[in-house]
Amino acid sequence: MNNEDQCILGGIIGALDGWLVKIGKPNKRTDGVKNVGGYWSRKGYYAINVQVIVDRKKRILYRSILCRGAEHDSTAFKASSLYRILEEKASWLASKGWYLIGDSAYSIRSFLQVPYDNAQHDTPEDNFNFVHSSRRIFVECAFGEIDMRWGIFWPLKFSLKHNCTIIDAGLRLHNFIVNDREEERLLVGGGMSANEERNLFSSECIAYMTVNPTAVFGVFGGEGEERGDTTVGRPDQWKLAGKQLRDALRDRLHEANIRRPLANWFRSRANHMIIND
């Protein structure tokens, strides 16, 4: 991302995503699980749905280890205490211009920006999705690092209680490594070049896709379905405010002539078709 992109989307405070941590089949007796099927994820294995927010250094800012693998990401995030705080502070966050970014699994809110659904190539919506995805990739790269670093996650085979403790420990150790890495960069007086960062992100994404072959990195979601959104009754003011903010960001990117490179669009399309065939 260039400086202009960063300025236009300068209100991002973190990237949100769900990490389906593979576990062994829960035990009804020892784990006290009544519905084992609730842990069977859409990826075809038993899992715990961990909601994670990271910064651009891939440092974990927040985690919620509450939900079963079958839970939709949007539902899992709404079950967290952070979501309730964000709703309470929505007006204040909007006044500051601050928001999280997430993929199309989540419902748009003033404090949570998601991609446009099924945007056509070379439109302002698709260009927004490209920039949004480029800023969101840090969370997917963090999952790639954690998945590939510790074999204990391939899969976790302990009690549910111990599995949650190990997940939490893994996230904390990841932060220790990130902090140590950043301190070392400061000491040597430099850091990675833009090309080096892109190469690192690319390798981490490949690692993440190896462990999570059905993950979709592109912008092809189901926002229109509002999956996991159980809001009924009057229109949600934060949903409307979120769409207004997204449109404003889209227009600013369009005015700055920031567009998705042609090669990226075709690559995303090809990957999407392969994943879903």
Quick: pLDDT tens for 231-240. Answer: 444 458 999 9
| pLDDT reported for residue 202 | 54
Strands 112-113 and 99-101, by their bridges, are: parallel
Which sign, positive or negative, has the C-alpha torsion 193, 197, 202, 204?
positive
Q: pLDDT tens for residues 123-150?
A: 999 999 999 999 999 999 999 999 999 9
pTM, entire model: 0.81
Q: 124-149 and 262-276 are packed helices; what angle lies between their axes, rounded to 10 degrees?
A: 60
CB atoms within 10 A of CB 237: 12
Please, what is the average pLDDT of the chain?
83
Q: pLDDT tens for residues 147-193?
A: 999 999 999 999 999 999 999 999 999 999 999 998 887 777 655 56
Q: pLDDT tens for residues 55-94?
A: 999 999 999 999 999 999 999 999 999 999 999 999 999 9
CA distances from 274 to 107, 136, 208, 268, 270 (A): 26, 22, 17, 10, 6
Which percentage of the chain shows pLDDT scores above 90?
67
The Cα 6–Cα 252 span in angstroms is 12
| pLDDT reported for residue 97 | 94
